[in-house]
Amino acid sequence: MIEKRVLLIVSGGIAAYKSLELTRLLKKQGIAVRAVMTESATEFVTPLSLGVITEDHVYGAMFDLKEEREIGHIQLSRQADLIVIAPATANILAKAAAGIADDLATTILLATDKPVLAVPAMNVRMWQHAATRRNLAQLRADGMAIMDPDEGEMACGEYGPGRLPEPHAIVERIIAMLGHFASAQTLASQPDFADIDHRPLYGKRVLVTAGPTHEAIDPVRYIANRSSGRQGFAIAAGAAEMGAEVTLIAGPVHLVTPPGVIRIDIETALEMQAEIDKALPADVAIMVAAVADWRAADVPEQKIKKAGKAPAPLALTENPDILATLAKHKQRPKLLIGFAAETEKIVEHAAAKLAKKGCDWIVANDVSGDVMGGENNAFHIVTKDGVESWPDSPKDVIARKLMEKVADEIGES
């Protein structure tokens, strides 16, 4: 597996000491960390302590000529997959929002083209101040990802939002942003994961379909849809991470196979159906693919030519409903989950689909926005017991949550 690299910017708040634990946890996940500290951060934690954990030089001074010659701010950013500011003080956020670059950390932020995650931590009044609100809105509009701080008692004795989230929660968010999932082997070698409770899908077979299908019109043209496959791939990755044996049947997409997942590429609905039959039995099937409802009735061997007159109408025929077929299969998985992309009356349509398809859960999502191909998704899980609605979250995060629910349902048996 290619190692992912985080450039961690530590700014000067009382929570700066938590950067040590954060770094330790990231390294445990196989993520390399290089650290940059602002000058005030060094008042709270020493570069020496952080350097011991990163096993690297800790960068700080912008005008250290030796550093600028050997590894300048551009290179620091170029060598990272993700920049994380944790803790991010009101001050560094204000500077970043204004485009001020007066030290190494802020210069990196202004010069980088890499994704940036800010994890703010500050006094509740600073967090609620109109200036901070304004700066955060600006940074979000500029594309920076920002984690909400935790609520609780602060070092200064006040109570409210502003505490740095727990390091493990920051690690989860980083993993989701990096698309980094530890492989089964990596997990097995970690003492925390030797305990089966941490791999609740160990020994279970999970089948996932993802992406669109392409249905040929002639040798060069096809019918397709906007599915990117990202949600299905994230679900397959989450299942593998939780210890399952995962087969991912993927339509034509440009995505990297998640570690530990067996991937089978197909183009058409008929090919997808044939591969599902071969992949059975499975304990769980999660049908995320946006299977084309129709295919061309006849596919000529040669390209259809323009004839200078109105084209012949395209005759279509219906594809088999793979989900409904699986629901009646003699090897029906114990838990069968369908997806429903809807643009209106989301839950109502999903509930009708649950009955029609004969599956156990329908995960409904509203695709009237930019969900297809986008970063985020919101789920409504419709079961015979009712509806559970989960808020808009990054696709990787919501995928893990779904797999946790799956594990709760079938993990014990």
Which residues are known catalytic residues? Answer: 156
The one segment of 80-88, 143-151, 256-264, 316-324 that binds ligand C5P by CB under 6 A: 316-324
Helix (H, G, I), strand (E, B) or coil at 69: helix
Q: Please check whether residue 406 is in contact with residue 246, taking contact to mean a CB–CB distance below 8 angstroms.
A: no
CB of 285 to ligand C5P, least distance (A): 9
The β-bridge relationship of strands 215-216 and 222-223 is antiparallel
- CA pair distance 94, 42, nearest whole angstrom: 20
Residues composing the chain: 413
CB of 359 to ligand C5P, least distance (A): 8
Tell me which long-range contacts 197-200 makes (C-beta under 8 A, separation of at least 24): 199/242, 199/243, 200/242, 200/243, 200/404, 200/407, 200/408, 200/411
Considering beta carbons, is residue 38 or 268 the nearer one to ligand C5P?
A: 268
Contacts to ligand C5P from residues 200-239, by CB under 6 A: 209
DSSP secondary structure of 149-216: PEEEE-TTS-EEEEEPPPHHHHHHHHHHHHT----HHHHHTSHHHHSGGGSTTTT-EEEEEESB--EE
Considering beta carbons, is residue 172 or 321 the nearer one to ligand C5P?
A: 321
Considering beta carbons, is residue 47 or 338 the nearer one to ligand C5P?
A: 338
Contact with ligand C5P (CB under 6 A) among 223, 269, 282, 407: 269
Contact with ligand C5P (CB under 6 A) among 165, 251, 258, 338: 338
Which residue in 344, 386, 394, 391 sits closest to 362, CA to CA?
A: 386
Considering beta carbons, is residue 121 or 236 the nearer one to ligand C5P?
A: 236
Q: Please check whether residue 40 is in contact with residue 77, taking contact to mean a CB–CB distance below 8 angstroms.
A: no
Size of the residue set binding ligand C5P (CB under 6 A): 13
CB of 321 to ligand C5P, least distance (A): 4
Contacts to ligand C5P from residues 286-305, by CB under 6 A: 287, 289, 291, 293
Task: Name the one residue in this structure whose structure tokens are 């995960």.
Answer: 363
Considering beta carbons, is residue 107 or 231 the nearer one to ligand C5P?
A: 231
- 321 is a contact residue toward ligand C5P (CB under 6 A): yes
For residue 87, is the peptide bond before it cis, meaning its omega torsion is within 30 degrees of 0? yes
Beta partners for 150? 163
Angle formed by the axes of helices 47-54 and 18-28, nearest 10°: 10
The one segment of 66-74, 89-97, 303-311, 321-329 that binds ligand C5P by CB under 6 A: 321-329
Contact with ligand C5P (CB under 6 A) among 340, 371, 397, 402: 340
Considering beta carbons, is residue 62 or 255 the nearer one to ligand C5P?
A: 255
CB of 288 to ligand C5P, least distance (A): 6
The one segment of 2-10, 42-50, 166-174, 336-344 that binds ligand C5P by CB under 6 A: 336-344
Contacts to ligand C5P from residues 16-45, by CB under 6 A: none
CB of 326 to ligand C5P, least distance (A): 7
Residue 290 per-residue DSSP state: B
Residues that bind ligand C5P (CB under 6 A): 209, 269, 287, 289, 291, 293, 319, 321-323, 338-340
